[in-house]
Amino acid sequence: MLEDGLLVLKCRRGSKDAISRIYKKYKDYLLTLAKVLLHERSAAEDIVHDVFVSFAQSAGNFQLTGSLRGYLATCVANRARDRLRTAKRHPENLYSAEQATANTGDPQQKAIEAEQVVRLRDALNQLPYEQREAVILRVKGRMKFREIARYRGVSISTIHGRYRYGLEKLRSLLNSEVQ
Amino acid sequence: MRSKKTIEKLIHTLHDTTTPEMDRNILTDVAKAMNNKKTPSAHPPNAWRIIMKSRITKLAAAAVIIVAILLSITLLDKSVTQAYAIDQTIQACKNMRFIYFEYYTPSHRKMKEAWLEYDDRGQIKNVRVNWHWGGGKEAVQIWKQGKTQNWTKHSKKLLLFDDKIFTGKVVGFAQRYDPARAIETIQEMEKEGKVKIKIDEPSNKTCPIILTAIWEPNTFIYERYWPQMKEVFSIDQSTKLVKAIETYELEDGQYLDQGAWEYPDYNKAFDSKIFSLEDELPADVEIIDMMALDIGLEQGDMTNEQIAIKLVREFFKALIAKDYKAAIKLFYHESATEEDDIRKVLENSHVLRIISIDKTFPPPPHPTRGLLGVSCILEIEKDGQVVRWEPNDVFVGRVIGHPNRWTVNSFQDYR
């Protein structure tokens, strides 16, 4: 935490080395979050890119109030949410291929992952977005329910509920596959 | 049986790793972003105060100012350098028959390339756009004199349709990315007060002229509303041709990079096969004639607002009645094979009652949301409880190939 605070301070002073260290520290973590939320590698890469470029643009005025890890995770979740909304939109123009290409898996990537992880990813993808978000931010993002609730602008009990239902559904999906 | 704890542990094991290429791209863009921003200094030195502390420096500063004024007057007087004018670029780019360009995302991935062919009168004749989505996902769109073919390679679907409104969008696309027309349009917009133009002409002739156009927010042009945009045209100093157009969108007070269009070649004739899919289509492609699809609700004499409200009411009524066949007909899709997936989503909606659906609102400035948003207040069952739901992203629009019919395009927030 202290290290993050120092890195942010250096970023505010324009240190490229500091932002590069933040990137190296959190890149895989953020990519993992984005991929779970979007279920698509190239979209997840774009999200991580946009989060860091945006962070670099605003670094001069950035004030760290909570944890940097949590802040970056919520940036990823916000953008993933926007992106999913976009993917559901109407293709009434030359962008129509976007909708048709959304949310299909990458077979090569899947082949090299352990079977149970593949099943977990597929199960996560079957959760409603809000439950998936609550589960991944809580478990993988190690965020407190209070932090997630503040970021989503809902009550802690709502986040608790989403998390509980999400985990319950995951359990039911994964156990039914075992049987 | 897996316990919740085991699942949490399993989630912890999820790990994705960035590639060196991704790292390189991101760090390059991050460095660029850092260079472009102003770094606040904790205690900026006050030069004026330092100068004015000493009598000698006061005199020296006054002398420097006088010399600078005299020099600038002399130089201005002798200056005969021809200033760049926008019309030079319009002339240089005008009357091109073939325009090819590539679009790069902010992470420098080539996401699309386009071929535009114009006829002798400067009217758009043929358009081809190749989409590269990454992960082996590719699509091709060809528009020839009003008729469109949309081929998504990975899903092996070819959509055929003939739609005047879509044609209007293609013409808008061709106009927007034909540099001469794009700059003419920017000039017109400046006269109407919709755009502010700034030109930087560097003295180093190897550096491009930079024309920056700052758009007013919510401008309606090219058949849609736009957010507050900034377009940066890089113009070759010797040829006056546009070499690239970078686009930015204003978000939370900052212009965010939306990617760039690059023009590597001008007026190089295309291969005649570029506007035909005949030799490219695989044998197992599913050909879908959108004109034959029975979808949407007919607008008839209704205004856009009236059809939007009627459509959304009928859609939710069908969901309440669990009449999914009727609901699917009112939900945008492109082929009967998608209906099972849509049905699964709709079955999950658990709408119980309409409280009110009586207002429309303009969609946010985004190309794909549809024509109108519809305000709804509904009662749904969620997590085992009856709750009030006010979705803010119910959008409706016209159906491709059936411009007089409307469908619901999105309503995802309840999830």
A 10 A CB-CB count for B58 gives 12
- pLDDT value at position A14? 83
CATH number, domain with residue B376? 3.10.450
The lowest-confidence range among A10-14, A132-136, B52-56 is B52-56
Cβ-in-10-Å burial (0-12, 13-18, 19+) of A90 comes to buried
Query: Do B105 and B215 have their domain in common?
Result: yes
Cβ-in-10-Å burial (0-12, 13-18, 19+) of B47 comes to exposed
Q: Which residue of B has its CA nearest to A126?
A: B345
Query: Do B176 and B241 have their domain in common?
Result: yes
Query: Do B253 and B270 have their domain in common?
Result: yes
Q: Which of A42, A53, A95 sits opposite B134 (nearest CB)?
A: A42
Q: What is the DSSP string of B50-106?
A: HHHT-HHHHHHHHHHHHHHHHHHHHHHHH--PPPP-HHHHHHHHTT-SEEEEEEE-T
Query: Do B56 and B199 have their domain in common?
Result: no
Going by the DSSP 8-state scheme, the letter that residue B273 receives in this structure is G
Contact list, B16 vs chain A (CB under 8 Å): 28, 31-32, 35, 41, 44
Query: Do B133 and B265 have their domain in common?
Result: yes
Q: State whether B3 and A171 contact (CB < 8 Å).
A: yes
Query: Do B330 and B406 have their domain in common?
Result: yes
The lowest-confidence range among A95-104, B34-43, B399-408 is A95-104
Q: How many domains does chain B have?
A: 3
Using CA atoms, how far apart are residues B26 and A48, in angstroms rounded to an integer?
8
Our CA-based measurement puts residue A5 at a distance from the nearest CA of chain B, in whole angstroms, of 17
Q: Which helix (H) or strand (E) holds B378?
A: strand B372-382
Q: Which residue of B has its CA nearest to A158?
A: B383
Query: Do B166 and B61 have their domain in common?
Result: no
Using CA atoms, how far apart are residues B233 and B323, in angstroms rounded to an integer?
52
Is residue B210 a part of any domain in this protein? Answer: yes
Is residue B30 a part of any domain in this protein? Answer: no
Give residues 120 to 139 of A whose Cβ lies within 8 Å of B. Answer: 120-121, 124, 128-130, 135-136, 139
CATH number, domain with residue B101? 2.50.20.10
Using CA atoms, how far apart are residues B387 and B117, in angstroms rounded to an integer?
55
Interface test with A, best of B12, B18, B148 (most A CBs within 10 A): B18
Q: Which residues contact B61 (CB under 8 A, 6 or more apart)?
A: B51
From residue A153, alpha-carbon distances to A150, A157, A158, B132, B374 in Å are 5, 12, 10, 36, 23
Q: State whether B17 and A106 contact (CB < 8 Å).
A: no
pLDDT band, very low/low/confident/very high, at B322 (cuts 50, 70, 90):
very high
Q: Which residues contact A115 (CB under 8 A, 6 or more apart)?
A: none
> Per residue in B221-239, pLDDT tens?
766 677 788 999 999 999 9
Q: Report ipTM (2 d.p.).
A: 0.80
Q: Which residues contact B2 (CB under 8 A, 6 or more apart)?
A: A171, A174, A175, A178, B10
> Per residue in B178-215, pLDDT tens?
888 888 888 888 998 999 999 999 888 888 999 999 98
Query: Do B177 and B217 have their domain in common?
Result: yes
> Per residue in B126-172, pLDDT tens?
999 998 877 677 889 999 877 889 898 887 889 898 888 778 777 77
Is the CB of A35 inside 8 Å of chain B's CB atoms? yes
Q: Which CATH number fits domain A1-104: 2.40.10.10, 1.10.1740.10, 1.10.10.60, 3.60.10.10?
A: 1.10.1740.10
| Token couple for B171 | 């013409």
Contact list, B388 vs chain A (CB under 8 Å): none
Contact list, B165 vs chain A (CB under 8 Å): 92
CB B148 within 8 A of CB B160: yes
Our CA-based measurement puts residue A79 at a distance from the nearest CA of chain B, in whole angstroms, of 12
Any idea which residue has 């993988």 for tokens?
A140
Going by the DSSP 8-state scheme, the letter that residue B208 receives in this structure is P
Q: What is the DSSP string of B114-181?
A: EEEEE-TTS-EEEEEEEEEEETTEEEEEEEETTEEEEEETTTTEEEEEE-HHHHHHHHHHHHHHSHHH
Q: How far apart are the first and last CA of chain A?
A: 43
Answer whether residue B85 shows pLDDT above 80.
yes
Q: Which residue of A has its CA nearest to B393?
A: A85
Query: Do B264 and B298 have their domain in common?
Result: no
Give residues 69 to 88 of A whose Cβ lies within 8 Å of B. Answer: 84-86, 88
Q: Which CATH number fits domain A106-179: 1.10.8.870, 1.10.10.10, 3.10.20.90, 1.10.3720.10?
A: 1.10.10.10
Query: Do B62 and B152 have their domain in common?
Result: no
Query: Do B254 and B313 have their domain in common?
Result: no
- What is the rounded average pLDDT of the residues A91-102? 30
Interface test with B, best of A82, A86, A90 (most B CBs within 10 A): A90
Q: Where along chain A do its domains lie? A: 1-104, 106-179
Using CA atoms, how far apart are residues A47 and B132, in angstroms rounded to an integer?
17
Q: Which residue of B has its CA nearest to A41?
A: B135
Is residue B28 a part of any domain in this protein? Answer: no
Q: Which of B4, B23, B410 sits opposite A171 (nearest CB)?
A: B4
Contact list, A140 vs chain B (CB under 8 Å): 11-12, 14
CB B130 within 8 A of CB B259: no
Is residue B2 a part of any domain in this protein? Answer: no
Nearest 10 degrees: Cα torsion B372, B373, B379, B383: 120
> Per residue in B20-79, pLDDT tens?
778 888 888 888 887 765 444 444 445 555 455 556 666 666 676 666 666 555 555 544
- pTM for this one? 0.52
Angle made by CA atoms B316, B318, B323, in degrees to the nearest 5 = 145
Range(s) of the domain holding residue B373: 293-410
Going by the DSSP 8-state scheme, the letter that residue B253 receives in this structure is T
* Chain pair A-B, CB pairs under 8 angstroms: 215
